[in-house]
Amino acid sequence: MPKRAILMCSCSFACPSMVNLNFPTFIERVRLEIPHDYMVVHPRLCETNGEALMEDLLKKDGITYITAACKIEKQAKLLRDGFQRAGVPMNEKTWKPVSIQFKTTEQAFEDVKKAVEEVGE
């Protein structure tokens, strides 16, 4: 099984589409209740310092990044530079995106849980 790393993007804790998401509760539940290798929470992964983090952090082999952020199509565009800077291709082995927009805390938690479990199958 690949390592499972959760990259959480909080969209500066200010995105109107995440208003029903209680981030402190969500993050802590993910940390405690979903088996994974590690998680990182960043306020804006698609901006320069988020991309710099990804460049330093992301590895090519033996790990899948579960990204919890905006719409999947949007993530594909907005996180592309970060993956590219790290030299990691965005494919089904390396990347498992989850949209946490327009979700309640419970829905977002369940969707991240499902994604992490699917990586482990």
69 contacts ligand SF4 (rule: CB under 6 A): yes
CA distance 1 to 20: 33
Segment contacting ligand SF4 by CB under 6 A, of 19-27, 39-47, 86-94, 108-116: 39-47
Which CB atom, from 76 or from 113, has the smaller least distance to ligand SF4?
76
Token look-up 């949209």 returns: 99
Q: For strands 3-9 and 63-69, give the pairing.
A: parallel
27 contacts ligand SF4 (rule: CB under 6 A): no
CA distance 29 to 84: 30
DSSP-based helix, strand, coil % in the chain, nearest 5: 45, 20, 35
Segment contacting ligand SF4 by CB under 6 A, of 25-33, 42-50, 51-59, 104-112: 42-50
Please select the residue that binds ligand SF4; options are 70, 98, 112, 115, rule is CB under 6 A: 70
Please say whether the beta carbons of 103 and 23 come within 8 A: no
Please select the residue that binds ligand SF4; options are 5, 6, 8, 9, rule is CB under 6 A: 9
Which H or E element spans position 6? Answer: strand 3-9
Shortest separation between residue 79's beta carbon and ligand SF4, angstroms? 6
Which parts of this chain interact with ligand SF4 (CB under 6 A)?
A: 9, 11, 15, 44-46, 69-70, 74-75, 78
